[in-house]
Structure 1
Amino acid sequence: MKKRLKLEPNNNNLIIWEAEQPKAILQIVHGMVEYVERYEEFALAMNNEGFTVIGHDHLGHGYTAQNPSQLGVFPESPEELIDDIERVTSFIQESYPELPIVLLGHSMGSLMCRYYVAKRKPPINALIIMATGQQPQFLTRFALILTEYIRLIKGNKHRSKLLTYLSTDSFNRTIKNPKTSVDWLSKNEESNQAYLKDPFCQFIPTIPMYRSIFYFSNQVASKQVIDEIPAQLPILVISGQEDPLGENGKGIERFVKLLKASHSKVSLRLVEEARHEILNENNRNDTYHFIADWMTKNTDV
């Protein structure tokens, strides 16, 4: 059963995919320039495995945006985005007090979740870090400086094609003979075409959105923040082996090495024949089963 709610005070669009007899709750934090209902096929598969799935649209995304002009508009403070994630976790706690919670963050959402878990220590039982990145801090600091420079000249409402060219567009330039501008997302042509036709996935972010992304990237790249993640928390790091954001696995392995230095329950999965959106890839059913099995083993259900 699917339910749609509004989460106060920001009127975030909240979706609940309810399992008949849930054994745990999966909270999804989606990525940039998308929205949580893109995860519906995955959510329904998790329902069949006994997991209720709950997720919200970030500010400036999906049905949280009140009109097309609000798409890509982020608040001044990155902490407001973390506040919304925390409100969803609190909602889950209140609604399902007896059930364990697994937190899953994809791409931009993975950066937010790494920061959220490190800084606020939410009452979750397991963490899935999906399609993340581990950029060197000199690059993330440069990105922040460049973003601030553009803000001073153009203002907060500016939608920067330059920052888009230097960030997400650069990933597609790593793909040999791409058929579309989003081939870096997956090898699933049908999924890529659906993304290109979706009005919720076709906006250029404003300056505050890029600033937030670069802020989270810079924060979570530090060993100090990695060490702030609770040491005994079960963590699955999962990414496509051909994901440009994860440097085709090299950046993911670099992150996991840092994580394992201070955490004892870390699992790594690099999905073969997969790019950025492993949940939309041609081999996605194998990934669904792997995630469901991992959640079952790591929530004691």
Structure 2
Amino acid sequence: MPFDKQTSLASPTGADLNLYVKYAATDPRAVIQINHGLAEHAARYARFADYLAPRGFNVYAHDHRGHGATKAPDAPLGKFADSDGIAKVIADVDAVHDLIAKEHPGLPVIVFGHSLGASIALNFVLRHSQRVRAAAIWNGNFSQELLGQLALLILGWERMRLGSDVPSRLLPKLTFQAWGKAVPNHRTLFDWLSRDAVEVDKYVADPLCGWDASISMWRDVVNMAQHAGKDSSFAGVRRDLFVNLLGGEKDPASDYGKAVHHLAKRMQAMGFSNLVSKVYPETRHESLNEINRDTVMNDFAAWANSVLKP
């Protein structure tokens, strides 16, 4: 089933955010604010929203700048902004969060993010942990400092030669394409996303998925992950925040789940007392589109219910 509502939200950044809403089928208990990943869009989370609504959750999911149907004068497909891209992406998340608070005053919010969305959600929490009940940070990688620095050097070299607004020629080869080739007997270069061939084919056929990001967007993506990779960035985050970290054992984007374990150990060492983490066996990058997605969604709902207990 599709979302209940598709609307637009004017962000203070100048973006016209494409926003999907699914309302709880019962009295709402909380709001799940979804942040999608790189080179995809929020409509792909309709099945997750369908699962959550009968369980008492409202769901809000918007297309980030440079993605999906969101429009901004400085953000065509594949680009966050001419400048201050990270700040504008987070400010857009702020705008959706403000709308949720206006439309559902008093309801707790669980911010959710997958992949790039995990980085966006975590960076939002680094600034606004007092505004949310919990955070689900899925399939992210915040433990690649040296590789991140190398990526920034490559992107800086490309920017000098090509400018910032054209697609990076090297980063897709080092990420999406390399990950696809690493899958044994791969059928497509996107098999690293899921073992479900139907879901992979839907992604490949979707014109709003799988495109090559601009050099400027890649720089923003790497810098966002690098910021979240520093313990000092967590200085203002409340340590009693409920946190759910999730990954897949066969996901190359999270170093086959090692990055999830690494973030969990970091946060535990920093004193986060309400943290759970899990790496699912044999699972690839898109947990919600994997063959074990029912288990993944059931586990998420059980965790969300636990953090809502008085």
Equivalent in the alignment of 2:144: 136
The offset of 1:138, in angstroms, is 1.9
Q: Please state whether the residue corresponding to 2:110 is helix, strand or coil.
A: strand
**1:13 aligned to 2:21?**
no
The offset of 1:65, in angstroms, is 4.3
Equivalent in the alignment of 1:31: 37
Q: Which of 27, 43, 58 is equivalent to 2:49?
A: 43
Q: Following the alignment from structure 1 to structure 2, what is the Cα–Cα distance between the partners of residues 104 and 11?
A: 21
Q: Please state whether the residue corresponding to 1:84 is helix, strand or coil.
A: helix
Q: Please state whether the residue corresponding to 1:200 is helix, strand or coil.
A: coil
Q: Please state whether the residue corresponding to 1:102 is helix, strand or coil.
A: strand
Q: TM-score, normalised by structure 1?
A: 0.95
RMSD value over aligned CA atoms?
1.7
Equivalent in the alignment of 1:70: 76
Q: Following the alignment from structure 2 to structure 1, what is the Cα–Cα distance between the partners of residues 130 and 219?
A: 24
The offset of 1:182, in angstroms, is 0.3
Cα deviations across residues 165-196 of structure 1 (Å, max 9, x unaligned)? Answer: 11222222321111111011010100000000
The offset of 1:267, in angstroms, is 0.1
Q: Which of 271, 278, 284 is equivalent to 1:275?
A: 284
**1:294 aligned to 2:303?**
yes
Q: Where do residues 185-204 of structure 1 align in structure 2 (5 Å cutoff)?
A: 185-204=193-212
Contact 1:114/1:229 (CA < 8 Å) preserved in 2? no
Contact 2:17/2:62 (CA < 8 Å) preserved in 1? yes
Greater CA drift, 188-197 or 1-10: 1-10
Contact 1:240/1:271 (CA < 8 Å) preserved in 2? yes
Q: Following the alignment from structure 1 to structure 2, what is the Cα–Cα distance between the partners of residues 87 and 219?
A: 22
Q: Which of 222, 227, 232 is equivalent to 1:219?
A: 227
**1:266 aligned to 2:275?**
yes
Q: Following the alignment from structure 2 to structure 1, what is the Cα–Cα distance between the partners of residues 63 and 156?
A: 26
The offset of 1:127, in angstroms, is 0.5
Q: Which of 57, 60, 64 is equivalent to 1:54?
A: 60
Cα deviations across residues 45-68 of structure 1 (Å, max 9, x unaligned)? Answer: 00011111101001111111489x
> Per the alignment, do residues 15 and 167 of structure 1 end up closer, same or farther by CA in structure 2, a change over 3 Å counting?
same
Contact 2:65/2:72 (CA < 8 Å) preserved in 1? no
Q: Following the alignment from structure 1 to structure 2, what is the Cα–Cα distance between the partners of residues 227 and 109?
A: 21
Equivalent in the alignment of 2:182: 174
Q: Following the alignment from structure 2 to structure 1, what is the Cα–Cα distance between the partners of residues 185 and 72?
A: 38
Q: Following the alignment from structure 1 to structure 2, what is the Cα–Cα distance between the partners of residues 215 and 31?
A: 16
Q: Following the alignment from structure 2 to structure 1, what is the Cα–Cα distance between the partners of residues 285 and 70?
A: 24
Q: Following the alignment from structure 1 to structure 2, what is the Cα–Cα distance between the partners of residues 35 and 162?
A: 23
Contact 1:118/1:230 (CA < 8 Å) preserved in 2? no
Q: Following the alignment from structure 1 to structure 2, what is the Cα–Cα distance between the partners of residues 243 and 19?
A: 32
Contact 1:226/1:258 (CA < 8 Å) preserved in 2? no
Q: Please state whether the residue corresponding to 2:192 is helix, strand or coil.
A: coil
Q: Please state whether the residue corresponding to 2:252 is helix, strand or coil.
A: coil
Q: Following the alignment from structure 1 to structure 2, what is the Cα–Cα distance between the partners of residues 65 and 84?
A: 12
Q: Following the alignment from structure 1 to structure 2, what is the Cα–Cα distance between the partners of residues 230 and 184?
A: 35
**Tell me, which stretches of 5 or more residues in structure 1 are unaligned?**
none
The offset of 1:120, in angstroms, is 3.5
Q: Following the alignment from structure 2 to structure 1, what is the Cα–Cα distance between the partners of residues 71 and 9?
A: 13
Q: TM-score, normalised by structure 2?
A: 0.92
Paired positions, count: 300
